[in-house]
Homo-oligomer: A and B are copies of this chain.
Amino acid sequence: MLKNFKLTIEYDGTDYHGWQIQKNDRTIQQEIEIALFTMTGERITLVGSGRTDAGVHALGQVANFTSKTKLAPDNFQNGLNSLIPEDIIIRECCLVDKQFHARFSAKSKTYHYQILNRKTPSAVGRQYEWFISQKLDIEAMKAAACHISGTHDFKAFEGTGSPRSHTTRSVITADIERDNDRIAFRIKADGFLRYMVRNLTGTLVDVGLLKINPEDIKSILASKDRSLAGPTAPPHGLFLINVEY
């Protein structure tokens, strides 16, 4: 009988070309599928909740796979963790309903973007944050984040060259928090367009630099024009925190 397994996965994306399998580049999906083949002898396709770009990290990516295996979830967790590189960790493995599909069953996802805002870069943890030396106006950024919440057409924040037919998404929460030199942007939505979090972050940083007014977020959204929004923030400050089902 075919069993359906759900994996919760943490990874350091620094040395990977993102989640999804590619011909010539190292990816997270590939590393786990190779280990699944070693464990089961089956050519298993792992279904992720969605792609993460090259260099993006995850604390709670979710994926599922089906197998005829007699192995238990614990065997998979321990076995995979001993086979995959140390920059990928299976945090949880459990049996789920046949109907569970990591992508289609997802109700929402939460991302976190980390910025370091001080005069000098960091050495410790530099792989996990975007360094910005100019002073950022945190209150302006918070005001701008408020305009992101809600249901909007996010076409202006979609990566060019990757159009979707349907570009309306519902942002459940969008918050900016400052903790000393570190600024975190946390966003939860029912779905994300390609580069959406990084484009929103780049735009919020432009607000913090006083290049864009907080109120302008509304007109940028209305314009559906990518060229009016800010730059794409680099991938290494971005974390997929959680997928909600």
Residues of chain A touching chain B, judged by Cβ–Cβ distance below 8 Å, are 10-12, 57, 59, 77, 81, 86-91, 120-126, 128, 239
A122 CA to B123 CA, complexed, in Å: 19
User: Is B128 touching A86 in the complex (CB atoms < 8 A)?
Assistant: no
- Closest residue of chain B to A87 (Cβ to Cβ) is B123
Further contacts, 7 of them, CB under 8 A, given A124-B239, A125-B128: A10-B120, A11-B124, A57-B123, A81-B120, A86-B126, A87-B123, A89-B121
User: Is B126 touching A87 in the complex (CB atoms < 8 A)?
Assistant: yes
25 contacts across the A-B interface (CB closer than 8 A):
A10-B120, A10-B122, A10-B124, A11-B123, A11-B124, A12-B123, A12-B124, A57-B123, A77-B120, A81-B120, A81-B121, A86-B121, A86-B123, A86-B126, A87-B123, A87-B126, A89-B120, A89-B121, A89-B122, A89-B123, A90-B120, A91-B120, A124-B128, A124-B239, A125-B125
A121 CB contacts on chain B under 8 angstroms: 81, 86, 89
User: Is A126 touching B81 in the complex (CB atoms < 8 A)?
Assistant: no
A128 CB contacts on chain B under 8 angstroms: 124-125
- Closest residue of chain B to A89 (Cβ to Cβ) is B123
A89 CA to B86 CA, complexed, in Å: 26
- Distance of A46 from chain B, by nearest CB (Å): 17
- Distance of A52 from chain B, by nearest CB (Å): 13
A59 CA to B239 CA, complexed, in Å: 24
- Distance of A12 from chain B, by nearest CB (Å): 5
A91 CB contacts on chain B under 8 angstroms: 120
Q: Which of A11, A88, A90, A125 counts the most B-chain CB atoms under 10 A from its CB? A: A125
A122 CB contacts on chain B under 8 angstroms: 10, 89
- Distance of A155 from chain B, by nearest CB (Å): 31
- Closest residue of chain B to A86 (Cβ to Cβ) is B126
A122 CA to B124 CA, complexed, in Å: 16
A90 CA to B11 CA, complexed, in Å: 29
A88 CA to B12 CA, complexed, in Å: 21
- Distance of A237 from chain B, by nearest CB (Å): 12
